[in-house]
Structure 1
Amino acid sequence: MGSMVYLNGEILDVTEARVAVTNPGLLHGVGLFETLRSYAGRPFRLDEHLVRMRSSAEKLNMPLGNALERVPEAIGMVLQANELTEARIRFAVTPPGAHDPEGETTLLVAAEKIVGYPPELYEKGMTVFICTNFRQSAQDPLAGHKTLSYLPRLIALRDAQNRQCGEALWFTPENMLAEGCISNVFLVKGGCLHTPPLDTPILPGVTRAAVLELAEENGIAVEQDLLTINNLLDAEEVFLTNAIMEIMPVTRVERHSIGDEQPGLITRKLAEAYQRLTHSL
């Protein structure tokens, strides 16, 4: 995290930023966040991130006041204060606490220099782990939303990393492929791109949506369909997406090889198209 953050209208040193002990995010994990990336000082698809947060807030009945209207200016202030252009940006909003005035939300915006993932992962591909301890269920009211209640994701991701894997893939109680802890997942089979539908349920990833657009523009067939472990293991290509990793090839599912253990043709084609998209802002 950069040394300067935005908190409720002020740019503060990260060591001086304070929230009340009654803040719902601190007490109960009540709040929403978004992570995105800036290229040449321009936040990529910020509007889509704001739309997603607003949609989640409405579905979860979480009042955000005018916090989202303040986000664009706040991001600009944080990038300037930290002298950043290529950055990882995170903004979080929590609703008013029990002792706060009505409509008084908390908005925190932070940014740091983008580090990204090691280049060799994009060249050789990532190994992923199958999450078997947890399930992603339509009965979970938080499924498909980026809430501050993120511990289960971090536990599963840490478990994967302890096994020398870069991500853990979640399945539903019906054994349908859902997503990663911090990413959406795509498969390629017979020249067709497959990804779980939104009502699996999964997070409506902003990078996921961009990839679907790029696939259509490049004449790649797409199916948003229910997928099983067998579909995953039989895939010719697999890749993950999120704002920071962009498009990450997957060449092993634990000890199982995907394709020839090299990033596939369609994965590479979409990754190149995504780079052109992000650098044409």
Structure 2
Amino acid sequence: MKKIWLHNKLVPAAQAKVSVLDRGFLYGDGVYEAVRVYQGKIFRAHHHWKRLAGSLKAIHMKIPWSGDYLTKACLATAKANGLPEALVRVTLSRGEGDLGYDPRTARHPTLTVIATPIRSDMAQLWKNGVKVKIVKVRRNHVKSLNPAIKHTNALNGILAKIEALKSGAFEGVFLNLDGNLAEGTISNIFIVKAGRIKTPSLDCGILDGVTRHAVLELARRMKIPVTETKIPEREFYSSQEKFLTSTTMEVMPVGRPGPLTRRLQSALRALIARELKIRL
């Protein structure tokens, strides 16, 4: 039976229950992180918990759990479900409170940790690439609901995902309100033109992805020209290579993988293996 971490212990999934008065359920009032477990180890856990701390601060929410505690909970949950390779999601809501937007009655946050297997066709997708669609729905504006906050109010992404799936695409890619590239529903986007890598800058209204950061770091180390900037939609279509990055996808080619995409795929896998002291 599947096990889920609830508050401070593992419980069978059937017993992992949250109140209907929980503000996460009622209002999407919470934040989350998704970490990748490789052979029982988390890649760059500290980066994830640092970002989580930023999300919590942005929504004025405090929790009693440390990053070390969350790491242990993630690994224990993956292990309890027999998953040495896993995607593990940590969800934190403000907790149970009275009806209404006033959050002050929610005094005890809710913590859940859920581990799921990595999709079995990932290697095939890395080899052949995926289809994406630039969707009509735009990314939330930073002055409305900042995409830099990894929050649980996901309807913006869900609507984009529905639109992408209807077109037969693997992932939907947002434009921001200025008409420039932003990000995917669960990924960051990169393009390659004339041997130079470009990716939307953080001020385009995007999440500061942990894998995005690692790829930028690798590209600079490998002396590949890379720019974080504003990218008009037309440049997406005229680029020679495109790829997505995320905790689950690592470096995912869009369409047929090009040479720079392949180099970065290999470099990221090598970085993960080196930092975690494992073989991939």
Structure 1 unmatched runs, 5+: 252-261
Aligned to 1:131: 135
Give 1:56-75 correspondences, 5 Å limit. 56-66=55-65, 68-75=67-74
Aligned to 2:245: 241
Structure 2 unmatched runs, 5+: 99-103
* Aligned partners of 1:188 and 1:235 also within 8 Å: yes
State TM-score, norm by structure 2: 0.90
Where 2:14 maps in the other structure, the secondary structure is: coil
The whole-number CA distance in structure 1 between the counterparts of 2:188 and 2:214 is: 12
1:53 aligns with 2:66: no
Instruction: Give a deviation string over 1:16-55, Cα, whole Å, max 9, x none.
Output: 1111222110111101111121111001111111110110
Across the two proteins, how many residue pairs are aligned to each other?
Answer: 270
The whole-number CA distance in structure 2 between the counterparts of 1:129 and 1:102 is: 39
Larger displacement relative to structure 2 (63-72 or 10-19): 63-72
State TM-score, norm by structure 1: 0.90
- The structure with the largest helix share of the pair is 2
Give the Å deviation of 1:118.
4.3
Task: Report the identity percentage.
Answer: 32
Instruction: Please report the RMSD computed on the Cα atoms of aligned residues, expressed in angstroms.
Output: 1.9
Q: Given residue 16 of structure 1, which amino acid in structure 2 is its aligned partner?
A: Q
Aligned to 1:109: 113
The whole-number CA distance in structure 2 between the counterparts of 1:104 and 1:67 is: 15
1:196 aligns with 2:200: yes
1:263 aligns with 2:257: yes
The whole-number CA distance in structure 1 between the counterparts of 2:239 and 2:223 is: 19
Aligned to 1:93: 92
The whole-number CA distance in structure 2 between the counterparts of 1:117 and 1:211 is: 22
The whole-number CA distance in structure 1 between the counterparts of 2:140 and 2:175 is: 6
| Matching residue within 149, 156, 160 for 2:153 | 149
Where 1:121 maps in the other structure, the secondary structure is: helix
Give the Å deviation of 1:138.
2.2
Where 1:91 maps in the other structure, the secondary structure is: strand
Instruction: Give a deviation string over 1:198-248, Cα, whole Å, max 9, x none.
Output: 111100000000101111111111110100011111111110010111111
Instruction: Give a deviation string over 1:140-190, Cα, whole Å, max 9, x none.
Output: 223222211112212211221121111111111111110011100001112
The whole-number CA distance in structure 2 between the counterparts of 1:67 and 1:106 is: 14
